[in-house]
Amino acid sequence: MGFELTIVVPAKNEIEMLPRLLESLCRQDYVGMRETRILIADAGSTDGTVEAALRFRDRLQIEIVPGGLPSVGRNAGAKLATTKYVLFMDADVEIPEPTLLRRALWRMERRGLHLCTTNIACREGSFFDDVLYAGNNFMQRVGSFMKPFATGMFMLFDREVFWKLGGFNEKALFAEDYLLSKDVARLRFRIVRGRVLTTNRRFQKLGHGRMIWMFFKTMMHTWDEEYFLEDQGYWGEAG
């Protein structure tokens, strides 16, 4: 498998978490990992995030591009990609399994997929954090039989399909990853065995009950695009 992947990571003040993601990418057994462009779409970090990322240039092809809200940063990176596939990841995740990228790319190529994702788990969370992420994985799998659902923590896209769908809606103020993934053809979507690890900071800032309520409202407004363009309080409280 050739060098056919670009990775895009939106980031702002992620000096603690971003190095963990980059370390986990260094451990991937994908044959093209060393030559894969990793575009860090920085939204004006002031904590040394950019400098921390650039320290990986001896092991990874790190590039810094201007970012903004996640949808803006993801699109900015995707515009620079020339590879067949683009992987969007959040800055506060890491990949514990060294085979995940290779297997995900193999599945995309073998099945002619438009999008694939994987499961989410909490790195050092509480019982309730684990339960909520397990619930997210369950709903993601159940939903895949009707309408694809993937989060920005791990979205591996066919680049041409990504742009045919319009990319991430930069006007969306909430759940822009869901807004895009739900438009992918159901039979061209898969959930790859494995997981990414993330933090519980979303739950810490918003609370478990609020996150559940926001998730429920998202499901109820699946066909109402205007809902996603309104401020639901997510960035003001969780950003």
148 and 182 in contact (C-beta within 8 Å)? yes
Instruction: Name the one residue in this structure whose structure tokens are 């920085």.
Output: 42
pLDDT computed for residue 203 by the predictor: 47
Kindly report the CATH number that applies to the domain delimited by 5-200.
Answer: 3.90.550.10
Per-residue pLDDT of the chain in tens (239 residues, 90 and over written 9): 445 999 999 999 999 999 999 999 999 999 999 999 999 999 999 999 999 999 999 999 999 999 988 999 999 999 999 999 999 999 999 999 999 999 999 999 999 999 999 999 988 767 666 777 777 777 778 777 778 888 889 999 999 999 999 999 998 766 788 889 989 999 999 999 999 998 866 545 655 555 555 665 555 555 556 655 665 554 444 44
Domain spans in the chain, listed from the N-terminal domain onward: 5-200
97 and 196 in contact (C-beta within 8 Å)? no
Instruction: Name the one residue in this structure whose structure tokens are 């995740």.
Output: 93
Q: What angle, 0 to 180 degrees and rounded to 10, lies between the N-to-C axes of helices 127-143 and 208-220?
A: 10
pLDDT computed for residue 219 by the predictor: 59
pLDDT computed for residue 55 by the predictor: 97
CA 138-195-179 angle, 5° bins: 60
pLDDT computed for residue 12 by the predictor: 95
What does the block give as tokens for 129? 């954090």
- SS3 state of residue 234: helix
Instruction: Name the one residue in this structure whose structure tokens are 């939106």.
Output: 10
- Residue 35, CA atoms < 13 Å, CB-side half-sphere: 7
Instruction: Name the one residue in this structure whose structure tokens are 């790190």.
Output: 62
Nearest-angstrom CA–CA distance, 8 and 65: 10
Residue 118 has phi, psi (to 5 degrees) of -145, -175
pLDDT computed for residue 236 by the predictor: 47
| Identity of residue 4 | E
10 and 41 in contact (C-beta within 8 Å)? yes
Helix/strand/coil (H/E/C) assignment for every residue in 97-136? CCCHHHHHHHHHHHHCCCEEEEEEEECCCCHHHHHHHHHH
Nearest-angstrom CA–CA distance, 41 and 163: 18
**Residue 39 forms beta bridges with which residues?**
8, 63
CA distances to 72, 117, 213 from 191, in Å: 25, 5, 24
DSSP letter (8 states) at residue 37: E
Quote the pTM value: 0.85
Nearest-angstrom CA–CA distance, 24 and 30: 12
What does the block give as tokens for 34? 């060393």
pLDDT computed for residue 69 by the predictor: 85
pLDDT computed for residue 196 by the predictor: 96
What does the block give as tokens for 37? 């462009």
pLDDT computed for residue 201 by the predictor: 60
pLDDT computed for residue 145 by the predictor: 75
Q: Which of 52, 17, 30 is nearest to 7 (CA)?
A: 30
